[in-house]
C-alpha cells in the first residue's frame, strides 16, 4: 500500500519521539498518585480544595455520630491559621494489626487508598466516608499529620509526613476515654495558599449541626481566640427558618410543608415553603454531605412538588385563561432543605457533590407528591396563597417573553449587525480570542478605546449607574436601556432564551474606577450576571479588572500601585533622598490611553480577578442582604463589619 505524505509525517514524528514501550509505563505506589494528581481526589488545589480536606475528616467524625457512637465533635483552627484538628468521641480508629497486611489498622487507613470500615453495613449502616479514600488523601496532601487515638484503655499516636509514616504507632499513656483526633497541615507545595478561612469553617459546621439535630459541634478559632458551639435539635425546620431570614425571602404562607420517611435503606427528610423570591433555593444533603451538584434525590423532589401542585390545581379546577403553568413557575420562590440518608450511596466522584442512585428519585418523588398534595388539600388558605404565587410567576414569565423575543430578534443575524451604537467592537469574529471591557462612562470608554487592541478587545461604555436587578422580574429588567445594550452585545439572549453557546466574547471584564462608585457599579453588574446570566460566571467568563490607584515616578522609573499598602511598599524600597512624584488616579478618565494599556489592558502586564461562585447559597444570601429591599439588614452588616474595612473612600 502506498504511503501518503501525511502518513510519512506521522512515522517521522514517532521516530523523533522514541518508541513507546513497556519501560515508559509508570507505576505510582502508595499515595504518590494523589500528590501527582490531587484535583482528581479533591476537585482542585484552590481555596475550595483546601477546605475540602477538612470536610473529609469532619465527615468521618460525623459517621461516628451516625453510627450512634458519639454526640460531640470539636474542630480547632490553630494559631498559624494553616493547620486544623478534628476530635470526636467515638470508638477510635482501630490500632491493632490488620490480619492480612500485618500493619496497624490505623496506618493502613491513613496510608492506603480504598481502605476503611465502611464498604459494608457491618460497622456503619449509613455513612459519608464510604470510599475509604478521604483520610488517606488528606494525609497525602499534608506536610504533617498526627493521629491520636483513644481506645483500649490507652492513648496511641502516629505521625506522618506527606502521606508517609515517620513513627510507628506508639502507645503513649493510659487513657480511660475513647475517640479520634486528627491534626493536619496542608502541604504548601500542593496548594496555592494554605490559610484556612474561619468563616467558611464556621458556616459549614453550623450547616452540619442543622442536618444532624442531635449532634453538638464546637469550633475553636485560635487565631481570633473565639469559640462557638452549634446544637440544633429542631433540625432542618430551624435550618429553613435561618435560610429564609438570611436571604430576605418573605414567605407567602406561615407554616412550611415538611415530611419524612425512614425505610430500610433510605431515610428522607424535607421541608419547604414558597417565598416572594424570583429563584429557587434548594439545599440537598446525602448522609450529611452537601450535594452542590444535586442528583437523583433533587430530581425526585422537584418532580414530586410539580406533580402535587398540578394535581391540586386540576382537582380544584384552577385555570387561568390563556395562561399555561410550567414547572419553572411552580418552583420559583421555593426555599427548601432536602436531607436523605442512604446505606449505599453512589456519588459522582470523590468530592461527592452529586448523587447517582437511580432508585432514590422514585423514592423521594413517591414520598413528596402524595404528602404535599394532601397537605395542600388540608390547608386551603395556604394552598390559595401558594397557587396565587405560582400564577403570578406564570404571568410575569409570559410578560417577559415579549421582551426576550425582542432581544433575540435584535441579536439574530450577522455578528456585526443589530449591535448597540456605542459598542466599540473588536475585529475578530472568534469568541475564544475576543474580550469585552464594560467600562464606566464615555470618558473612560474613550480612553479604553484608544488603548485597546482593536483586533481582540471590544469596549462597551455604560452611562450612569446600572439598574439594581436584585428584586426585579425580567420584564422590569429588560426595560432598562443599559441592560438591553449589554444583553445585545453579549449575544446570548436572556431568560428562557439564554444560550451560552452564543456568547460573543469568552472573557468579559468589568473595568471600573478604583473608588466606591466603581465598586458600586461593579456590584450592580455582578448582581445582574448572578441573577440573569449565572452560566457566564459558572464557565469562568467574568472578570474584574484591577486598575492602579497610584502612579509613582522616581527619576525615569515609573511604577504603579493598586492600593495604599503597595504604594507604601514601593516608596519604602526607594532611596530616602530620591525625588518622588505620586499621582492618585481619581478615575479611569485621568489615565491616558498608554497608561491604561500598560496597566490594565495588556494581557502580559494586567491583573484580572476571575469571578467564581464557591457557594451558590452563600452568594444568594449576600446579594439579597446587600442589594435587597430590606435596608435594616444592610445597616446591620455595616455596623457589625465596619471595623474590618481597611479603607473607606468618601
Top pLDDT among 412 and 492 is at 492
Share of the chain above pLDDT 70, in %: 85
Which residues belong to CATH 3.40.50.670 in the chain? 412-547+609-644
Count the Cβ atoms, other than its own, within 10 Å of residue 113: 17
What pLDDT, on a 0 to 100 scale, did the predictor assign at position 353?
A: 82
Confidence (pLDDT) at 30: 66
Structure confidence at residue 647 (pLDDT): 44
| Higher local confidence (pLDDT), 457 or 516 | 457
Cα separation, 283 vs 295, whole angstroms: 12
pLDDT at 189: 94
Question: Residue 401: phi, psi to the nearest 5?
Answer: -60, -35
* H/E stretch holding 381: helix 380-411
pLDDT at 129 over 80: no
What is the distance between the terminal CA atoms of the chain, rounded to a whole angstrom?
Answer: 79
Of 403, 455, 413, give the one whose Cα is nearest residue 434.
Answer: 455
For the chain, give the mean pLDDT: 84
Task: For 390-448, write each residue's pLDDT tens digit.
Answer: 998 888 777 766 555 555 554 544 445 457 778 899 999 999 999 999 998 766 667 88
Give 513's pLDDT tier (boundaries 50, 70, 90): confident
Task: Say whether pLDDT at 300 is over 60.
Answer: yes
How do 154-161 and 226-230 pair as beta strands?
unpaired
State the pTM of this model.
0.68
Residues of the chain with CATH 3.30.230.10: 236-396
Q: What is the pLDDT of residue 18?
A: 57
Specify which of 132-141, 216-225, 465-474, 580-589 reaches the highest per-range mean pLDDT. 216-225
Average pLDDT over residues 491-509: 90
| H, E, C per residue of 555-617 | CCEEEEECCHHHHHHHHHHCCCCCCEEEEECCCHHHCCHHHHHHHHHCCCCCCEEECCCCCHH
The whole-angstrom separation of Cα 226 and Cα 218 is: 11
CB 308 within 8 A of CB 253: no
**How many whole angstroms separate alpha carbon 107 and alpha carbon 147?**
9
Task: Write out pLDDT tens, residues 303-328.
Answer: 999 999 999 999 999 887 778 889 98
CB 133 within 8 A of CB 114: yes
Query: Which range scores top for mean pLDDT: 14-28, 101-115, 349-363, 528-542?
Result: 528-542
Tell me what the mean pLDDT of segment 286-295 comes to.
Answer: 89
3-state secondary structure 512-548: CCCCHHHHHHHHHHHHHHHHHCHHHHHCCCEEEECCC
For cell 444592610, what's the residue? Answer: 634
Pairing type for strands 164-165 and 154-161 reads antiparallel
Nearest to 274 by CA among 304, 305, 307: 305
Cell readout for 171 is: 502507645
Domain with CATH 3.30.565.10 in the chain: 32-230
Q: What secondary structure does DSSP assign to 289-351, as a single string?
A: EE-TT-BHHHHHHHHHHHHHHHHHHHHTT--BTTBPPPHHHHHTTEEEEEEEEESS--BSTTT
Domain at 32-230: CATH code: 3.30.565.10
pLDDT band of residue 352 (cuts 50, 70, 90) is confident
Q: Provide mean pLDDT across the span 164-188.
A: 95
CATH of segment(s) 412-547+609-644: 3.40.50.670
pLDDT at 12: 38
Q: Highest-confidence range of 232-241, 403-412, 546-555, by mean pLDDT?
A: 232-241
pLDDT in tens, 356-391: 999 999 999 999 999 999 999 999 999 999 999 999
Look at residue 109 and tell me whether its pLDDT is greater than 70: yes
pLDDT confidence bin for 9, thresholds 50/70/90? very low
Provide the strand spans (E) within 429-537: 435-440, 457-462, 507-511
Is the pLDDT at 510 greater than 70? The verdict is yes
Contact criterion met (CB below 8 Å) for 489 and 419? yes
Enumerate the active-site residues: 440, 513, 515, 517
| pLDDT, mean of residues 135-139 | 92
Would the pLDDT of 124 be above 60? no
> What was the pLDDT predicted at 132?
39
| Most confident option among 13-17, 91-95, 408-412, 586-590 | 91-95
Burial 511-549 (b: 16+ CB within 10 A, else e): bbbbeeebeebbbbbbbbbbbbbbebbeeebbbbbbbbb
pLDDT at 8 over 70: no
- pLDDT of 198 strictly over 90: yes
Half-sphere exposure of 441 (CA within 13 A, CB side): 12
* CATH class of the domain whose range is 236-396: alpha beta
Average pLDDT over residues 451-460: 92
- Over residues 277-299, the mean pLDDT reads 90
Amino acid at each position: 500500500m502506498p504511503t501518503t505524505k501525511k502518513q510519512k509525517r506521522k512515522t517521522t514524528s514517532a521516530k523523533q519521539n522514541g518508541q513507546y514501550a513497556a519501560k515508559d509505563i509508570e507505576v505510582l505506589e502508595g499515595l504518590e498518585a494523589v500528590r501527582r494528581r490531587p484535583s482528581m481526589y479533591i476537585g482542585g488545589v484552590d481555596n475550595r480544595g483546601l477546605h475540602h480536606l477538612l470536610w473529609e475528616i469532619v465527615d468521618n467524625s460525623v459517621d461516628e455520630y451516625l453510627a450512634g457512637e458519639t454526640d460531640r465533635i470539636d474542630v480547632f483552627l490553630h494559631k498559624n491559621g494553616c493547620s486544623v484538628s478534628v476530635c470526636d468521641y467515638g470508638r477510635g480508629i482501630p490500632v491493632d494489626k490488620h490480619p492480612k497486611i500485618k500493619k496497624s489498622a490505623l496506618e493502613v487507613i491513613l496510608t492506603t487508598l480504598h481502605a476503611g470500615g465502611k464498604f459494608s453495613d457491618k460497622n456503619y449502616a449509613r455513612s459519608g466516608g464510604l470510599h475509604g479514600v478521604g483520610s488517606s488523601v488528606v494525609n497525602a496532601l499534608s506536610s504533617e499529620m498526627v493521629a491520636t487515638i483513644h481506645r483500649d484503655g490507652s492513648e496511641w499516636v502516629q505521625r506522618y509526613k506527606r502521606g508517609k509514616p515517620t513513627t510507628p504507632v506508639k502507645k503513649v499513656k493510659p487513657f480511660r476515654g475513647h475517640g479520634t483526633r486528627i491534626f493536619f497541615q496542608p502541604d504548601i507545595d500542593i496548594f496555592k495558599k494554605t490559610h484556612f478561612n474561619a468563616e467558611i469553617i464556621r458556616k459549614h459546621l453550623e450547616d452540619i449541626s442543622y442536618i444532624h439535630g442531635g449532634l453538638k459541634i464546637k469550633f475553636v478559632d485560635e487565631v481570633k481566640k473565639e469559640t462557638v458551639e452549634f446544637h440544633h435539635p429542631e433540625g432542618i425546620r430551624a435550618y429553613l427558618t435561618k435560610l429564609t431570614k438570611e436571604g430576605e425571602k418573605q414567605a407567602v404562607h406561615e407554616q412550611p410543608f415538611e415530611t419524612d420517611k425512614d425505610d430500610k435503606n433510605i431515610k428522607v427528610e424535607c421541608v419547604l415553603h414558597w417565598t416572594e423570591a424570583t429563584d429557587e433555593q434548594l439545599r440537598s444533603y446525602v448522609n450529611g454531605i452537601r450535594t452542590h451538584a444535586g442528583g437523583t434525590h433533587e430530581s425526585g423532589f422537584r418532580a414530586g412538588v410539580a406533580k402535587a401542585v398540578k394535581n391540586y390545581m386540576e382537582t380544584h379546577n384552577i385555570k387561568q385563561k390563556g395562561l399555561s403553568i410550567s414547572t419553572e413557575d411552580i418552583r420559583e420562590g421555593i426555599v427548601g432543605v432536602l436531607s436523605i440518608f442512604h446505606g449505599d450511596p453512589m456519588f459522582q466522584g470523590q468530592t461527592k457533590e452529586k448523587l447517582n442512585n437511580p432508585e432514590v428519585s422514585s423514592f423521594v418523588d413517591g414520598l413528596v407528591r402524595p404528602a404535599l398534595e394532601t397537605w395542600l388539600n388540608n390547608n386551603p388558605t395556604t394552598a390559595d396563597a401558594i397557587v396565587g404565587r405560582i400564577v403570578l410567576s406564570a404571568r410575569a414569565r409570559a410578560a417577559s417573553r415579549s421582551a426576550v423575543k425582542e432581544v433575540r430578534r435584535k441579536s439574530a443575524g450577522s455578528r456585526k449587525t443589530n449591535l448597540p451604537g456605542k459598542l466599540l467592537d473588536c475585529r475578530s469574529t472568534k469568541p475564544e480570542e475576543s474580550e469585552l471591557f464594560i467600562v464606566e462612562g464615555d470618558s473612560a470608554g474613550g480612553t479604553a478605546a484608544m488603548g485597546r487592541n482593536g483586533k481582540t478587545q471590544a469596549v462597551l461604555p455604560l452611562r450612569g449607574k446600572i439598574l439594581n436587578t436584585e428584586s426585579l422580574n425580567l420584564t422590569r429588567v429588560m426595560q432598562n436601556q443599559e441592560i438591553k445594550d449589554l444583553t445585545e452585545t453579549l449575544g446570548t439572549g436572556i431568560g428562557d432564551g439564554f444560550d451560552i453557546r452564543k456568547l460573543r466574547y469568552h472573557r468579559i471584564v468589568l473595568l471600573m474606577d478604583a473608588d466606591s462608585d466603581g465598586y458600586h457599579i461593579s456590584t450592580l453588574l455582578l448582581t445582574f450576571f448572578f441573577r440573569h446570566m449565572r452560566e457566564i460566571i459558572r464557565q469562568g467568563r467574568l472578570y474584574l479588572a484591577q486598575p492602579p490607584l497610584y502612579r509613582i515616578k522616581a527619576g525615569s522609573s515609573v511604577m504603579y500601585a493598586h492600593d495604599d499598602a503597595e504604594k507604601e511598599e514601593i516608596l519604602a524600597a526607594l532611596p530616602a533622598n530620591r525625588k518622588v512624584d505620586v499621582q492618585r488616579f481619581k478615575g479611569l478618565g485621568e489615565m491616558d490611553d498608554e497608561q491604561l494599556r500598560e496597566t490594565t489592558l495588556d494581557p502580559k502586564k494586567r491583573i484580572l480577578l476571575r469571578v467564581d461562585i464557591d457557594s451558590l447559597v452563600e452568594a444568594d444570601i449576600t446579594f439579597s442582604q446587600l442589594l435587597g429591599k430590606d435596608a435594616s439588614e444592610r445597616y446591620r452588616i455595616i455596623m457589625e463589619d465596619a471595623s474590618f474595612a481597611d479603607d473607606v473612600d468618601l
